[in-house]
Amino acid sequence: MTPQRRFREALLFGNPDKIPLNPGGPRESTRAIWRTQGLPPDVDYYEYLMKLLNIDPELPDERVGPGISFKMIPTFEEKVIEHKNGHYIVQDWMGAITEISDDYDYTYIRSAKDFVTRKWHKFPVETREDWQEMKKRYDPKHPERFAPDFEERCRKLLNRNYVSDFQVNGPFWQLREWVGMENLCIMMLDDPQFVEDMVEFWIDFVSETMAPLLERVELDRVGISEDMAFKIHSMISPEMARHFLQPAYKRWVAEIKASNCPIVDMDSDGFVGELIPIWIESGINVCDPIEVAAGNDIVEFRQQFGRQMAYTGGIDKRALAKGGKVMRDEVLRVVPPLLIDGGFIPGCDHGVPPDISWQNFVEYSRLLAELCGWL
């Protein structure tokens, strides 16, 4: 079975020959510590892990990306405004004024290379005049929106054996980038028409931008990034999510699935239990990473929502850090019950943090490989 077919079968409650092995992705700090714990320098951690587990590497076709961008064009000039007291204050490429410790290169502000705390001072959209200027940066017909070889990429993607997808910001995520989270939440109460205008613009932009790709290629997955929940609760009420966000989900899902792409995947940190029903209503059929520390229980979700939702992730990173029996108990609590039912690719419930040692990661990956049919 090809990696593409296996991925679809696993998440669509089919009959995969085995479950895709995706234990989780380490960040830079994690890999740096692993290299002091047995991971050799200058090797890909996943390839070396497969070698340690004695799993023959699969050889997918040469990968080709879709060559599509949803970023603002042009971006803002990224520049350091101030550097003092161990911190950079930077105008980032999205136009926000942000602050970060100089323990990191300031480009970490808009990068997921590591676990980094940032502070936002100012956002690019504060007035309706700012909004009119911001809209000019999101022309779906801009010549830089697609790679120069876009047509050739699409032709190559028609016959592939690997998973092809793209990720786009959901409306909550994107508006938060423009106005800031606190400002956005206040605006939903004090100026809902402004929020609705921005959401409608983003819906149209995403639809128009992805249309040329969806017309040419049957993708395997489209991901929506929202990160709209804290511990125990979402950042906005379910009623607000239905009112402001669901119109985007419903339209995009309809367009994506009309292209025969079978999976629309919602990515949100935090507790998502009160949001999953909204996503199901919208036609979204996979979500991740299902953080246990935020109060999510993937086994309970399966009992509650049945086969209306599939999942990736769901294994408590804190248990993986402890290793041994604690790790095994957590993996066995989560993985076998959901694999029996299907609709699940297990993995760490977020990026793999540096307190998970290389030895514990290998031990955990070996157990996962056994359960998923690789050993």
**Is residue 62 over pLDDT 90?**
no
User: Would you kindly state where each structural domain of the chain is located, as residue ranges?
Assistant: 3-71+125-371, 77-123
Does domain 3-71+125-371 match CATH 3.20.20.210?
A: yes
**Is residue 94 over pLDDT 80?**
yes
Compute how many other C-beta atoms are within 10 angstroms of the C-beta atom of residue 200.
Answer: 13
**Is residue 1 over pLDDT 80?**
yes
Q: What average pLDDT does the segment 87-96 reach?
A: 94
pLDDT at 18: 97
pLDDT band at 113 (very low <50, low <70, confident <90, very high): confident
pLDDT at 247: 98
pTM: 0.95
Tell me the per-residue pLDDT of 217-255, one tens digit each, with 9 for 90 and over: 999 999 999 999 999 899 999 999 999 999 999 999 999
Closest CA to 185 of 267, 118, 241, 250: 241
pLDDT at 118: 86
Share above pLDDT 70 across residues of the chain, in percent, rounded to a whole number: 100
Tell me the per-residue pLDDT of 294-346, one tens digit each, with 9 for 90 and over: 999 999 999 999 999 999 999 999 999 999 999 999 999 999 999 999 999 99
At 334, list the tokens: 């989560």
Share above pLDDT 90 across residues of the chain, in percent, rounded to a whole number: 93
Q: What average pLDDT does the segment 198-206 reach?
A: 98
Q: Which of 33-37, 100-104, 181-185 has the lowest mean pLDDT?
A: 100-104
Average pLDDT, the chain: 96
